[in-house]
Structure 1
Amino acid sequence: MIEAWVIGLRAIQYGAAALLFGLPAFLIYSAPATEPLSLAWPRPALFCAAVALALAAPAALIAHTAMMAGSLSEAIKPETLGMMVTGMGLGMALAVRSLVAFVALAAVAMIRPGPRLWWACMLLGLVVSATFAWTGHGAATEGPGHGLHIASDILHAVSASLWVGALAAFAALVAWRPREPSRHDQALARVLAGFAQVGTLAVAVLLLTGLVNSAFLVGWSGLWTLPDRAYGRWLILKLALFGLMLGLAAINRFRLTPAVEAVRADSATVFGHLRRSLVVEFALSLAVLMVVAVMGTLAPPASLP
């Protein structure tokens, strides 16, 4: 039962980190294209992400402590929690996330929407995303490869947050279409076209760091036994979902975005296709985060005899 809570709380933290980092980053690098639009949703979205993280991170700390201490009653004792935070990287990372979440809440409450708030939330989200390296399998790697695995995990988490946060922004942009859609659609097309370089960089880093992480966690010999192990089957599912996301991203970039740019009058049909594609891609990204949350509780092939 506690393990199920750990998985759910881990997934919530992944999603919150993606919003706290990827969403404000999107607002910064796409500012020239989104400036003509009246965007009322970023601040509430960042507030919800900060609240989710402020609730999930402390709860995850208690859940992990309960798993290690053997009972929930033992886990909520101050001395037990103190030992968890000061004695383990996992506990320290969860404590940092909790602190960052409350700082983010204060920032959203006190700073007016605009570049200052976006930069503040992006930096806080960057810290949260980086801490996942100390709550995943990378922290358990020993020997000369420890530093490389940690660095690869950090880059992997940050790139994933960058992509998922942008998808959340696109889903919000297509969820509401004004009565005078032409300016909105053209702005959306410019944002999508402008995201091409950022998205390509994020995907390239994800692929490279994914290979590095797999070398540590799976290895060449473990590659052939993936279908026989729980971790391997979830990894295959993750790669399949990731492949679907890449396919949709390619359709959006090379087919639907140029179509929206080319339409000058009634683009309702084209926009409908683009909206469904972006929403599905965002849903797939959330599914990937859930799969990764499950994989974090399983032993990778390289750690098994």
Structure 2
Amino acid sequence: MSDSINIVLRFALYLDLMLLFGLAAFGLYSLRGQERVSGAQLPFAPLLATTAVLGGLLSLAAMVCMTWAMSGVSDWIELWPHIEMMVWETDVGLSWTLRMVALLLAGFAVTLNKRWPTASLGLVLLGGAVALATLAWAGHGAMDEGARRSWHFITDFLHLWAAGGWVGALAAFALLLRQSEPRLAVLARTLTGFETAGAVIVVVISVTGVINYLFIVGPSITGLLDSTYGQLLALKLTLFAVMLVFAALNRFHLSPLLENARQTGEHRVAVNALRRSMVLEFSVAVVILGFVAWLGTLSPEME
């Protein structure tokens, strides 16, 4: 049961912190000036405040669950000293403390959105980036030592940030398309503008994914599919390929279709097609995060 709870909490933290980081990043590289004010295009204030608070609550639950599993103690009075030891005397605890501080920064920054929208999103982005990076300490990189450990962490950071950028962008597009009458000029511009960012994201995810595989498994695939880890990894890669197909469809067919429809005034079909595509792509991304949360608890040798 504790393993299942751990996986669920890991999944929820991945999704929550990626949304916090990715939505703030989208607001900075896709929107302009007053478009970054909450409610002008996207409801930044409620979304980012909710993810920051939820991230803190999930982190508290994850720390208690981890300490409970490691100590074997169930009574709260007996468990509390173990939690204190975990927080103050372990690398995982220090990264957890850093995450909580980063989430407090992000939560405070949200309150500045109406007055200084760009600075607000910038601070949320910083807090979200730090909070998301701390998840690496609960992954395979924490088991390495020396220079290998440092390089593994750097690769994990880049992988998490790129994935967060993609998840946040998908959520932002889904919200823009959810409007009863989407602002087509802004939507078309942000879709076109995401082409460069999306290409960078795909390259970073692909390269860091390969490097992480080499860190964890090594330069071999022999017998990999005989383990639960290998089977889940294969499923994850298959779904990632499906996401690339959706991204190509959006880039080369649906985005040009929207632009043409915007000029003719007949945009309903194009908008509905984009809505379906974005919802499906985001759904696939959520399933991938579920596999990632599970993979983080396994090793290639485990059955």
Same fold (TM over 0.5): yes
> Separation in 2 of the partners of 1:189 and 1:300?
44
Alignment pair present for 1:158 and 2:161: yes
Structure 1 range deviating more: 60-69 or 110-119:
110-119
Report the Cα offset of residue 129 of structure 1. Answer: 1.5
Seen in structure 2, the aligned counterparts of structure 1 residues 42 and 85 have a Cα distance that, compared at 3 Å, is: same
The DSSP-based 3-state class of the residue aligned with 2:297 is coil
Question: How many residues are treated as equivalent by the alignment?
Answer: 298
Q: 1:144 to 1:3 in 2, by over 3 A?
A: same
Q: Using the TM superposition, name which of 137-146 and 237-246 deviates more.
A: 137-146
SS in structure 2 opposite 1:299?
coil
Residue 14 of structure 1 corresponds to: 14
- 1:129 is matched with 132
Residue of structure 2 aligned with 1:83, choices 67, 76, 85: 85
The CA deviation string for residues 6-56 of structure 1, in whole angstroms up to 9 with x for no partner, is 111111111121122111110011123993993251211111111210110
Q: 1:90 to 1:300 in 2, by over 3 A?
A: farther
Aligned to 1:245: 243
Tell me if structure 2 keeps the 8 A contact 1:75–1:81.
no
Tell me the residue number matched to 2:64.
62
Separation (CA, whole Å) in 2 of partners of 1:11 and 1:72: 24
Structure 2 contact 19–51 (Cα < 8 Å) conserved: yes
Residue deviations 1:284-305 (CA, integer Å, cap 9, x gap) = 111111111111111234xx69
State the percentage of identical aligned residues. 38
> SS at 1:224's partner residue?
coil
- Pairwise CA distance, 1:74: 6.2
Instruction: Give distance in 1, aligned partners of 2:145 and 2:76.
Output: 30
Give the structure 2 partner of residue 190 of structure 1. Answer: 189
Q: Which of 109-118 and 250-259 deviates more?
A: 109-118
Task: Report if aligned partners of 1:18, 1:165 keep a CA contact under 8 Å in 2.
Answer: yes
What secondary structure sits across from 2:235 in the alignment?
A: helix
Residue 299 of structure 1 is matched in structure 2 by: 299
Select between 73-82 and 196-205 the one with higher mean Cα deviation: 73-82
The residue number in structure 1 matching 2:123 is 120
Whether the aligned pair in 1 keeps the contact of 2:42 and 2:175 (CA below 8 Å) is: no
Task: State the match for 1:214 in structure 2.
Answer: 213
* C-alpha distance in structure 2 between counterparts of 1:277 and 1:118, whole Å: 27
For the residue of structure 2 that corresponds to 1:266, the secondary structure is: coil
Are 2:159 and 2:205, in contact at CA under 8 Å, matched by a contact in 1? yes
1:230 to 200, 209, 228: 228
1:200 equivalent in structure 2: 199
Of the structure 1 ranges 82-91 and 107-116, higher mean CA displacement relative to structure 2 is found in: 107-116
In the TM superposition, what are the counterparts of 1:279-298 in structure 2 within 5 Å?
279-298=279-298
Q: Could you say which residue in structure 1 is the equivalent of 2:142?
A: 139
- Compute the displacement of 1:141 (Å): 1.6
After superposition, the Cα gap between the structure-2 partners of 1:75 and 1:224, relative to the gap in structure 1 and judged at 3 Å, is farther
SS class of match (1:220): coil
Mark the CA change 1:112 to 1:76 in structure 2 (over 3 Å): closer, same or farther.
farther
CA displacement at 1:281 relative to structure 2: 0.7
- Structure 2 unaligned blocks of 5 or more: none
Deviations 1:230-284 (A, max 9, x none): 1111111111111111110110011100111111211111111111001111111
Partner SS, residue 258 of structure 2: helix
Question: CA-atom RMSD, angstroms?
Answer: 2.2
Look up the SS of the partner of 1:261 in the other structure. helix
Cα distance in 2 between the residues matched to 1:18 and 1:165: 6
Q: CA deviation at 1:2?
A: 1.7
For residues 26-45 of structure 1, what are the structure 2 equivalents within 5 Å? 26-32=26-32, 35=35, 38-45=40-47
CA contact (8 A) 1:133 1:139 kept: yes
Structure 1 length-normalised TM: 0.91
Structure 2 distance, partners of 1:95, 1:203, is 31
In structure 2, C-alpha distance between the alignment counterparts of 1:128 and 1:84, rounded to whole Å: 18
The CA distance in 1 between the partners of 2:64 and 2:137, in whole Å, is 17
Contact 1:74/1:80 (8 A) holds in 2: no
